[in-house]
Amino acid sequence: MYLGVQGLMLKDLNEVTEATMTNIRDHGFTGAACRYLEEPLETTESDAKRLREIMNVGGVNPCQTAAQHPDLIDPDPDKRAKGVRAMQLMCKVARWLGGDNLYVRSGRVHPNGSWYAHPDNYKPETFETLVYSLKRVCEAAESEGTMLAIKGHTLSILDTPERIAELNRGRGIRHPSI
């Protein structure tokens, strides 16, 4: 087992240096999440491999890749499609980094943003939208050899362990990358 941290990485991963890794190690961690908070669709292979090399030299494992992206259940199909494209690219980025998994959040349907409750989060058609979006992400994950770590939350469509499990059985996804 190793301990990973999220908060000690810089917001702009292109600014990470060996000193960043030293700071992480000095705090007792051997793993760090790589969070792409700006525009994930602008992430390049050379940027990810540069980060991987810095982390390798510093003895820090990229234990999780994550990205800020439009919600996978957004009512706007264009925004939702951009979210799917971002997560498909992040499957590649996770492979380029040599990361253990890619953090996936479904999001919410609230017009004020991802972190607000909304009754439509729990509708069957919203779940079907999530299944459709995640199937596209899973295709990329399988192609890239990336494991997906699906996030649940009481305010999201994935509000119980049973609901999360439903993704991978029955009418859900049934995919080995989850």
For the chain, list the strands marked E by DSSP. 4-5, 31-36, 61-67, 102-104, 148-150
The whole-number pLDDT of residue 23 equals 97
At residue 3 the predicted structure's pLDDT band, cuts being 50, 70 and 90, is low
Q: Which residue has the tokens 């810095």?
A: 54
Asked if residues 106 and 151 have their Cβ atoms less than 8 Å apart, the reply is yes
Q: CA 97, 44, 175: angle at the middle one, nearest 5?
A: 55
Question: What is residue 171's predicted lDDT score, i.e. its pLDDT?
Answer: 61
- Write the burial class of residue 47 (CB in 10 Å: 0-12 exposed, 13-18 middle, 19+ buried): middle
* pLDDT average, residue stretch 166-175: 72
- Residue 49 to residue 70: CA distance in whole angstroms: 25
CATH dotted code for 4-166:
3.20.20.150
d(CA 68, CA 70): 7
Of 134 and 153, more confident:
134
